[in-house]
Structure formats: structure tokens, C-alpha cells
Chain A
Amino acid sequence: MNEFVLPSLLLVLSLGALPLVSRFRSGVRTFVMPTLVILATLFAWHLACAALGTRVFPSPMQTAAAFGELFESQRLLGDVVASLFRVTFGFLLAAGIGIPLGLVLGWSTRSFEALNPIIQGLRPISPIAWIPIAILWFGIGDGAGVFLIFLSTFFPVTVGTTAAVRNISLVHRRSALNFGVQGLELFRRVVLPAALPQIITSLRIALGVAWLVIVAAEMVGMDSGLGYLINDARNAGSRYDLVVATMIVIGAIGIVLDYLIRRLERFDEVRWGYVQR
């Protein structure tokens, strides 16, 4: 009975504390309230497991134990590095090509007219659909992963950069013209800085997509990485505790990646793009 009474009590307590905490000053509030919600979720999860008496789906405690196992086996680090490596290289490659291409497409109407249709045609194809071709071309391994991440980030970055340049206000274009800013200087002084806030937003979206796609890609067509770890845990005796623990790791890394890329938004040169205008 104890496995119901105590968690129920804690669940009610943590939810009941929310309205009280909401009156605290905002510094405390923004930390304590999410913590309470997370705790309540864990208690509810525990209660659901206990009530259903499931043997396959892990409880929070079993998941915590699985974390220990993952760390001890030293497998986790290798898979995290494998996934991050593919995402980093694919993403940098896409940014390195997509941003300059987007700048050109946004500025030159002719290149936009020529290339936009094919870009819009390729864009809606899910990167997952490319997995067979990626394996055909690069085999099972990092090459295919980097290729798939490149595909899934190249389009958001290119399209986002193009739109950013096309959105540069007429007044700024005219200011540049008026003071004789042209050629490469125009790109460096006006086009790139004017588009930069929106470019950073598109990078942020692309990185989020990359982290979603790499897991799926590793589940289907790779033999390392966090996606592979999930598949492997299920195939090796339905270890759903390891599956859920890995999912939590994936979520945590996703948060860290987003936090890191958001730091770009704080520079003085781009902050203007994120405030109310």
C-alpha cells in the first residue's frame, strides 16, 4: 500500500505548493515552479506504473538504476560522441554552404528565380526518406549520418537566410546606396548584419531538426549513436529501462544544444533583431 500512499501524498503536495510558490518573487518562482512540476510528473509516473502493475515499462526508480548501468558500461559516452559528431559536422557543413548561398539567393533575383524551384522541390522530402540512399552512397557509419544531417539542416538554413536578406528594409538598402556602400562592402556592412538575427534563428531551428533526425537515422541505418542505443536496448531483451534513460539523455542534450546556440542571440550586433520593434 505504501507505494501508493507516499507518492500520492507527494504528488498532491507538490501540485498544492504551486499556487503558493507563484506568489514568490520571480527569481525563486522561475526555478521552484518547474522543479515542482517535474517532481509531480515523476510521482504521477510512479503511481501509473504501480497502478497498472506493468513489468515491461520502467518506473522512475528503475530508470534511475538504468542510468547507473549506462554510465558504468561506459557505452553511453561513445554513443553520445557519435551522435554529436554527426550532428556537428553535418550542421557546420550545411551552415557553411547554406548561409553564403542564402545571401546570394536573397540578394540576386536571377539566382533566386533559377534555384528556388529546385530548393522548394527538395525541401519537403523528409531526411528519413534519404536513409536508403545515404547508406548506398556512404555505407553504414558516420558518412551517412553527416550526409543526412547536412540534408536536414541545409534547407532550413538556406531558406531562412534567403528570407532574411529579402526582408531587409528599403530604408536600409537606400541608406547603403546613399552613402555609396556597394559590392563586397555592401554584404559585409549591410546585408550580412541586417540578416544575421534571422540567420541565427534559422540555425537554431536547423539544429533542433538535426537532433531529431540523427536519432531516427541511427535507429534505422547506423551501428552507433544514441538512436542505435535505443534500438539495441529494445532488441537485447526488451530493456525499456535503458530505452527511457537514453530518451532522457537525448532530451537533456537537446536542451544544452539549444542553450548554446541561443547565446549567439546576445551579441550587441544582433540583439536589435529580437526586441519588440
Chain B
Amino acid sequence: MSAREPKVVFERVSKTFPKKKEVLQVLQDIDLSVAEGEFVCLLGPSGCGKSTLLNIAGGFEEPTSGTVRIDGQLVDGPNARRVFVFQEYGIFPWASVWDNVVLGVRHRPRSEQHEIAQGVIDLVGLTGFEKAYPMELSGGMKQRVEVARALAVSPDVIYMDEPFGALDSLTRLTMRAELIRIWNTRKPTVLFVTHDVDEAIQIAERIVVFSARPGRVAGVVDVPLEHPRDLSSHAYADIKRELYGLLGVVQAV
């Protein structure tokens, strides 16, 4: 893992929001380095600032202090080299699946657009739904469109903000397996925000655990398990115990 080049580097990133008379510290001194092609989960309770950190990395928000660099370049705004997969559906409901997917490659020649779009649509398993409109699709399929739209631009980094949060638990399992399959095909760098401990262990290579507000890195846990992962193995249970410990949550109910 250490052989890989650092792709995304967070340096002492802090974020505060003004709130009436006081200031709300959301993130405090986040230092984090994500390698090229790595799949990293940001895990933490609601309101710990993990989504804010993602928005800062995406260029949608500015850090109060500190920097985010991608390939050594300072992030200073949104860019199609690093794309978001949103939780609430960010795909456009007024456009067909095809038109949504070609959004990021709309300036390329037609034949190239066609090749790219068909490639990613096939990859996410939506072949035959090119002309469908999002309202005709299930929640899981909409999220596949969103993933296809992101993959179409061959981004350096994909940010996923609880992308499966709105799906039912069975669809969520399928989508995780699909995401891993797709990630193995293209190997993009992925930063994946979740508050679901199991989700993090199932998909991530490395898990960054956040403390409650103000968000700080409480610990980093490697997941050295091969896919497909056995969810009932001892190693899985050990990692889970470690994560709950870092989160300060009692595991037994």
C-alpha cells in the first residue's frame, strides 16, 4: 500500500461555522493521505463533519484553515476530474439515463461519447435502460446511473456521500458488491462517507474513524481482507470490535 503514490492529501484541515454568538467547530486539524486507487471510508456519527470534509475536498466548501491537495494541486473549486456521487439523487430527472451519463463528456466527439456512455452503462448493469427516465427507475437503479455518470469522466477521485443511505438494506448489500466489482474494474480513488460500521468493513481498504463534534481523526483501521469478504469471519469481527471501540460505542445491546 505504501508503494502507491499519494493522491489526495489533507493538511490540518479545520472548518468552523458561525452560529449566533458562538462559533461551531465542525472539523479540527484533519491530516489524511489517500493513495492513488485506494478505497477509503470516512466513518463517524452523524454531525461529525465527515460530509463537510468531503464537500471541502470536492471544492464545494472552503476550509477555514488548512489545505486539500490532489496530485499536489490545491483544490479551489469543483472540477470534473473529481466527481461526487450524491445520496439524494443528483442525476437530472428531466433527462434520460443516456443524457445523464453523457453530461460529463458532452464536449467530446459524438462517437467517443457513445463509446464511453455505453461502456459505463453496461458496466453498472443498466444496458437496455438508456432511454428510460429516472422516475421510471428504482432507487438502486438511479444510484447506478449516478455511478455511471461519475465513471464516464474517468475521474481521478470519486467522492461518495452515503450513496446507499436511501436504499433498503437488501438493495444496499447488492450495491456494495456491485461497487466493489466496478471499483476492481477501473480502480478509481474512492472516498466514501458512511455512518454504517458494517458497510465500511465490507467495502473499504482503509477506514478513517471520526470522533463526534468537533470532528477529529480518532483512528485509522486497515481492512486487509480479500473480496468477497466473509462477513462471519473472525478477522471481520475483530475489525468491527476495534471500530466500535474507536467510536466509543457499546457493541452489545
Residues of chain A touching chain B, judged by Cβ–Cβ distance below 8 Å, are 169, 171-172, 174-175, 177-181, 189-190, 193-194, 196, 268-273, 275
CB contacts (< 8 Å) of B134 on chain A: these are 272
Query: Which of A169, A179, A268, A272 meets B104, CB within 8 Å?
Result: A179
Inter-subunit contact B60/A177 (CB<8 Å):
yes
A-B pairs with beta carbons under 8 Å apart, 30 shown: A169-B88, A171-B88, A171-B90, A172-B90, A172-B92, A174-B78, A175-B86, A175-B92, A175-B103, A177-B78, A178-B58, A178-B78, A179-B149, A179-B153, A180-B78, A180-B79, A189-B103, A190-B92, A193-B92, A193-B94, A193-B95, A194-B94, A268-B96, A269-B94, A271-B133, A272-B93, A272-B94, A272-B133, A273-B93, A275-B135
CB contacts (< 8 Å) of A269 on chain B: these are 94-95
| B183 interfacial contact with A, CB 8 Å | no
CB contacts (< 8 Å) of A193 on chain B: these are 92, 94-95
CB contacts (< 8 Å) of B80 on chain A: these are 178-180
With both beta carbons as reference points, the residue of chain A lying nearest to B155 in the complex is identified as: A178
Q: How many residues from B make CB contacts under 8 Å with A?
A: 24
CB contacts (< 8 Å) of A175 on chain B: these are 84, 86, 90-92, 103
Residues of chain B touching chain A, judged by Cβ–Cβ distance below 8 Å, are 58, 60, 78-80, 83-84, 86, 88-96, 103-104, 133-135, 149, 153
CB contacts (< 8 Å) of A190 on chain B: these are 92
With both beta carbons as reference points, the residue of chain B lying nearest to A190 in the complex is identified as: B92
The distance in angstroms between the C-alpha atoms of A174 and B103, with both chains bound, is 13
Query: Which of A171, A177, A180, A270 meets B94, CB within 8 Å?
Result: A270
Q: A174-B60, A175-B86, A272-B134 are in contact. List 15 more A-B contacts (CB 8 A).
A: A171-B88, A175-B103, A177-B78, A178-B58, A178-B83, A178-B84, A179-B80, A179-B104, A179-B153, A180-B104, A181-B103, A268-B133, A271-B135, A272-B93, A272-B133
CB contacts (< 8 Å) of A178 on chain B: these are 58, 78-80, 83-84
Provided the pairs A180-B80, A193-B95 are in contact, do residues A174 and B133 lie with their beta carbons within 8 angstroms? no
With both beta carbons as reference points, the residue of chain A lying nearest to B94 in the complex is identified as: A193
With both beta carbons as reference points, the residue of chain B lying nearest to A194 in the complex is identified as: B94
* Distance to closest chain A CB from B165 (angstroms): 13
The distance in angstroms between the C-alpha atoms of A267 and B240, with both chains bound, is 50
Provided the pairs A193-B92, A193-B95, A272-B94 are in contact, do residues A174 and B83 lie with their beta carbons within 8 angstroms? no
CB contacts (< 8 Å) of A177 on chain B: these are 60, 78
With both beta carbons as reference points, the residue of chain A lying nearest to B153 in the complex is identified as: A179
CB contacts (< 8 Å) of A272 on chain B: these are 93-94, 133-135
Provided the pairs A193-B94, A275-B135 are in contact, do residues A171 and B103 lie with their beta carbons within 8 angstroms? no
With both beta carbons as reference points, the residue of chain A lying nearest to B103 in the complex is identified as: A179
User: Which has the most chain A C-beta neighbours within 10 Å: B83, B90, B134, B153?
Assistant: B90
The distance in angstroms between the C-alpha atoms of A275 and B137, with both chains bound, is 13
The distance in angstroms between the C-alpha atoms of A85 and B232, with both chains bound, is 75
Inter-subunit contact B86/A171 (CB<8 Å):
yes
